[in-house]
């Protein structure tokens, strides 16, 4: 069975200036426009790890981290 990769999208609120580029570029709408144009992430599981948000953010406020799960013995 193929395992689906999971990602954790972290936004450093003290760096973010609510420019909107991250939710404009996100292809899966994992990041959406929230109150006062602030980025919101209601559902992390939608993220496909394309890193476009991390690359486009002018203030280096986004960090996308792959969630590493324990591999079962059969894949060794
Ligand atoms: S691209 Fe960066 S600065 Fe702009 S809204 Fe997103 S997190 Fe904030
Ligand atoms: S890594 Fe890609 S899919 Fe995930 S939040 Fe960023 S732009 Fe969206």
pLDDT tens column, 13-64: 999 999 999 999 999 999 999 999 999 999 999 999 999 999 999 999 999 9
Distance CA 20, CA 5 (A): 26
Residue 58 is assigned to a structural domain of this protein: yes
Distance, CA 64 to ligand 1 centroid (Å)? 13
Structural domain including 11 reads 6-67
Task: Give residue 75's pLDDT band: very low, low, confident or very high (50, 70, 90).
Answer: low
Residue 15 is assigned to a structural domain of this protein: yes
What the block records as the tokens of 14 is: 């003290």
Closest CA to 31 of 55, 12, 60, 10: 10
Distance CA 44, CA 9 (A): 7
Distance, CA 22 to ligand 2 centroid (Å)? 8
Residue 11 is assigned to a structural domain of this protein: yes
In ligand 2, the atom with minimum distance to the C-alpha of 51 is: 1
């Amino acid at each position: 069975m193929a395992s689906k990769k999971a990602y954790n999208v972290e936004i450093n609120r003290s760096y973010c200036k609510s420019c909107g580029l991250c939710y404009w570029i996100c292809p899966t709408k994992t990041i959406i426009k929230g109150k006062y144009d602030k980025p919101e992430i209601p559902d992390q599981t939608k993220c496909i790890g394309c890193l476009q948000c991390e690359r486009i953010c002018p203030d280096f406020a986004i960090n996308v981290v792959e969630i590493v799960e324990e591999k079962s013995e059969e894949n060794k």
